[in-house]
């Protein structure tokens, strides 16, 4: 898959985003990611999603956002399907944010069960307002649900970019690691979660996510 690769072993799937640039979430990239997640779900695999060194993803393809029209709408619809796929995955989901992580990519962090971030000169943020976009209703619900209350306005309304320590405080990350240790720690965490009773994990994850899912489902564009 262009810009994306997946390796599966021992009931765990590792999905790597690496387009050699900023890992922009174009419609093509999102469709590849959806296909990988579907394959992992069919195999009941726990999933680890990682970026390339220095950047997890800059979020939606900015050129498509600025151009508007049907291409933008299709990309956003694919992004909404990605939101639901991450929310509904039947097994553990871990994300290792390997560097900068913005906009839609930061929302991906909020949908994972456990999030590790590279400690360094990296930024995480919801920059929608800063680039002239109103926060989509479903995204606002997700932000309200998962971001620490005292950070919600700073992140969602004021479009503040955070360093890794601030991203940890705000609720985007659960743990920081040195860049050269990040992937190893993420793999260990995924194995720990994958070792839990899968039926109990799946059912509890569904129950935990059900209220958020019910609120955002009518707000998503899934076609």
In a structure prediction context, what are the per-residue pLDDT tens digits for the chain, which is 223 residues long?
579 999 999 999 999 999 999 999 999 999 999 999 999 999 999 999 999 999 999 999 999 999 999 999 999 999 999 999 999 999 999 999 999 999 999 999 999 999 999 999 999 999 999 999 999 999 999 999 999 999 999 999 999 999 999 999 999 999 999 999 999 999 999 999 999 999 999 999 999 999 999 999 999 998 7
Output the pLDDT for position 181.
98
Say how far apart CA 140 and CA 69 lie, in whole Å. 22
HSE (CB half, 13 Å, CA atoms) of 20? 1
Map out the domains of the chain with their CATH numbers: 4-219 (3.90.226.10)
Cβ neighbours around 8 below 10 Å, total = 15
Q: Across the strands, what pairs with 55? A: 52, 100
For residue 157, give the DSSP letter: I
Both tokens assigned to 22: 């900023």
């Amino acid at each position: 898959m262009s810009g994306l690769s997946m390796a599966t072993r021992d009931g765990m799937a590792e999905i790597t985003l690496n387009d050699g640039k900023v890992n922009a979430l174009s419609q093509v990239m999102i469709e590849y990611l959806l296909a990988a997640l579907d394959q992992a779900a069919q195999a009941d695999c726990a999933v680890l999603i990682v970026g390339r060194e220095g950047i997890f993803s800059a979020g939606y393809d900015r050129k498509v956002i600025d151009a508007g029209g049907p291409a933008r709408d299709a990309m956003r619809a694919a992004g909404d399907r990605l939101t639901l796929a991450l929310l509904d995955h039947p097994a553990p989901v871990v994300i290792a944010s390997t560097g900068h992580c913005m906009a839609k990519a930061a929302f991906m962090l909020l949908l994972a069960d456990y999030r590790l971030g590279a400690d360094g000169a990296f930024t995480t943020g919801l920059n929608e307002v800063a680039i002239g976009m109103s926060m989509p209703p479903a995204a606002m619900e997700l932000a309200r649900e998962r971001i620490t209350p005292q950070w919600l306005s700073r992140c969602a309304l004021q479009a503040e970019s955070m360093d890794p320590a601030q991203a940890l405080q705000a609720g985007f990350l659960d743990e920081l690691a040195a860049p050269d240790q990040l992937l190893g720690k993420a793999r260990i965490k995924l194995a720990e979660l994958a070792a839990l009773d899968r039926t109990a994990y799946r059912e509890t994850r569904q129950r935990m996510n059900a209220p958020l899912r019910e609120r955002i489902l009518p707000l998503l564009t899934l076609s």
